[in-house]
Chain A
Amino acid sequence: MTHISHHISDALMAAYVSGNLPQAYALVLATHISMCDSCRASYAAHASIGGAVLDGSSSVSVSPVLRNRVLDMLDTPPREDKPFRASGIFPAPLMQAMNGTPPRWRALGAGIRQSVLYREKSCSARLLYIPAGEAVPEHGHGGLELTLVLQGAFEDETGRFGVGDMEIADGELDHQPVATGDVPCICLAATDEPLNFKSLLPRLLQPVFRI
């Protein structure tokens, strides 16, 4: 396992553990935790706080019908959902998001490609493929942006991010990540607004490219 130095903050982890993080971000966190034992431990620690809250919460009696039904169902074999397995650089939650198939890349120019995995009004998640030495076009974003490196590395104003590292950028950060190293950088990025690419594509084209 490679050395991971950029991790999930406690506030993000608490929101994820409590089920209150929008889907696109939850996908990035689930993927990072799959790669990072330190954050897997943090995930369980936050669940322990949740467990303490659950234990201390007010009880509401359940109907005897429910109790009997559950006890009667113990011998019924559960409906097996076949879990997705990690494949290559893609951990299991990402394979699930891609429904077990390789990413469908779309060219954005300058050798940069993307594959949108998930998109709704409030957030979107995509894979980005950036050839070594290329810069992700300069962009601001309205809100939170999470970027997780799956292959290669990138650098921006805040530091270097290698495999497993997750960058947390808020709306203030106007950054320009550059892929470094010998291999193309592949990362998973989640934003709560369309990325505002400033140079590569005119704004008008953004809906066409589903950015």
Chain B
Amino acid sequence: MLLEQGHQMSVVKEGLSVPTSFSPMRSKEPDATQTPTAQQPRCETTRLMLAVRDHRDKQAFSSLFDHFAPRLKGFAIRSGVTNGQAEDVVQDVMLSVWNKAHQFDPNRADVSGWIYQIARNRQVDLFRKNSRPVPEELISDDVDTCDAEQIVGLEQEVTALRSALTRLTPSQRELIEQAYLGELSHSEIQLTSGIPLGTIKSRIRLGLEKLRHELKGTTSK
């Protein structure tokens, strides 16, 4: 990992179209007047992830890599691992994104949240001797995921959540960052005030109900 020494300190804030620290990756061709269709979720990362999932699109994957890999690396380094270990985490997480793409369901998860979860699980697994207990996966190969209303509804909730995060005071925001970087124990975390978690939970719940319905349909065939 000596070759990578030069990269270790090159911390850059990559240019994003929206100047807030919690902004999601937006479409490169924003068109406020156009209603998203079933084929066109508004969020660029959702589109890319669906291309990876449904068409094994390597070009889309490399775009996701270019967006997420530097952030995942910064995230890993901030949580205390070395440059080399951080690159191991990035490799492991991005390959999981590719290999577990069939588990991505835009009805009940946004891409950043889904990748965040993979990253935390993998980082814990890589540096502890026990693999971390994770919930049972709910998957159906036959789920029709082109429910534009639900997908766009969830994207809107995620946007609202992010904008609520930007309205927090700097110290509250710092607390959130520390918590989700895994720096706080559960008794140190007090974070519900000011974050509209209830609405996003009910939206995700709708996505789950849809999936439950589909799973029921497939098992009764």
A residues in contact (CB < 8 Å) with B:
10-12, 14-21, 23, 25-27, 29-31, 33-34, 37-38, 40-63, 65-67, 69-71, 73-74, 78, 83, 86, 91-93, 96-97, 118, 144
Q: CA–CA, A104 to B185, complex, Å?
A: 32
Find chain B residues with CB under 8 A from A45 CB.
161, 197, 200-201, 204
Closest-by-CB residue of B relative to A49 is: B180
User: Could you pull out 18 A-B pairs where Cβ atoms are within 8 angstroms?
Assistant: A15-B179, A33-B135, A37-B212, A41-B205, A47-B113, A49-B161, A54-B72, A55-B71, A59-B14, A60-B74, A61-B7, A62-B69, A63-B87, A65-B4, A70-B90, A71-B62, A74-B61, A93-B133
In the A-B complex, list the 9 residue pairs whose CB atoms are closest, starting with the nearest. Answer: A51-B112, A51-B113, A59-B70, A15-B186, A56-B21, A92-B136, A30-B133, A48-B113, A50-B116
- Asked if B114 contacts A47 (CB within 8 A), the reply is yes
Q: CA–CA, A56 to B20, complex, Å?
A: 8
Find chain B residues with CB under 8 A from A83 CB.
137
| Given known A10-B191, A58-B74, A59-B11, contact A19–B121 (CB-CB < 8 A) | yes
- Asked if A56 contacts B23 (CB within 8 A), the reply is yes
| Given A18-B180, A70-B94: 12 more A-B contacts, CB < 8 Å | A18-B181, A19-B120, A29-B133, A37-B205, A41-B204, A55-B24, A55-B25, A59-B13, A59-B73, A62-B70, A78-B99, A93-B133
Q: How far is the CB of A71 from chain B (nearest CB, A)?
A: 6
Q: How far is the CB of A103 from chain B (nearest CB, A)?
A: 16
Q: How far is the CB of B106 from chain A (nearest CB, A)?
A: 12
Find chain B residues with CB under 8 A from A29 CB.
133
- Asked if A63 contacts B7 (CB within 8 A), the reply is yes
Find chain B residues with CB under 8 A from A91 CB.
136
Q: How far is the CB of A29 from chain B (nearest CB, A)?
A: 8
Q: CA–CA, A62 to B157, complex, Å?
A: 31
Q: How far is the CB of B119 from chain A (nearest CB, A)?
A: 7
- Asked if A54 contacts B71 (CB within 8 A), the reply is yes
Find chain A residues with CB under 8 A from B130 CB.
23, 118
Main secondary structure of the interface of A (DSSP, over half): helix
Please tell me which one of the listed residues B108, B110, B134, B180 contacts residue A30 in the complex, with CB atoms under 8 A apart.
B134
Q: Which of B87, B161, B186 has the most CB of A within 10 A?
A: B186
Closest-by-CB residue of A relative to B12 is: A59
Please tell me which one of the listed residues B11, B99, B135, B176 contacts residue A60 in the complex, with CB atoms under 8 A apart.
B11
- Asked if B3 contacts A34 (CB within 8 A), the reply is no
Find chain B residues with CB under 8 A from A67 CB.
62, 65, 69
Q: CA–CA, A30 to B121, complex, Å?
A: 12
| Given known A56-B22, A59-B14, A66-B87, contact A73–B132 (CB-CB < 8 A) | no
Q: How far is the CB of A60 from chain B (nearest CB, A)?
A: 4
Q: How far is the CB of B180 from chain A (nearest CB, A)?
A: 4
- Asked if B119 contacts A54 (CB within 8 A), the reply is yes
Closest-by-CB residue of A relative to B205 is: A41
Q: CA–CA, A7 to B117, complex, Å?
A: 20
- Asked if A52 contacts B165 (CB within 8 A), the reply is yes
Q: CA–CA, A51 to B204, complex, Å?
A: 15
- Asked if B3 contacts A65 (CB within 8 A), the reply is yes
Q: Which of B119, B189, B192 has the most CB of A within 10 A?
A: B189
Q: How far is the CB of B138 from chain A (nearest CB, A)?
A: 8
- Asked if B177 contacts A58 (CB within 8 A), the reply is no
| Given known A10-B191, A37-B212, A45-B201, contact A50–B117 (CB-CB < 8 A) | yes
- Asked if A51 contacts B111 (CB within 8 A), the reply is yes
Q: How far is the CB of B213 from chain A (nearest CB, A)?
A: 12
- Asked if B113 contacts A60 (CB within 8 A), the reply is no
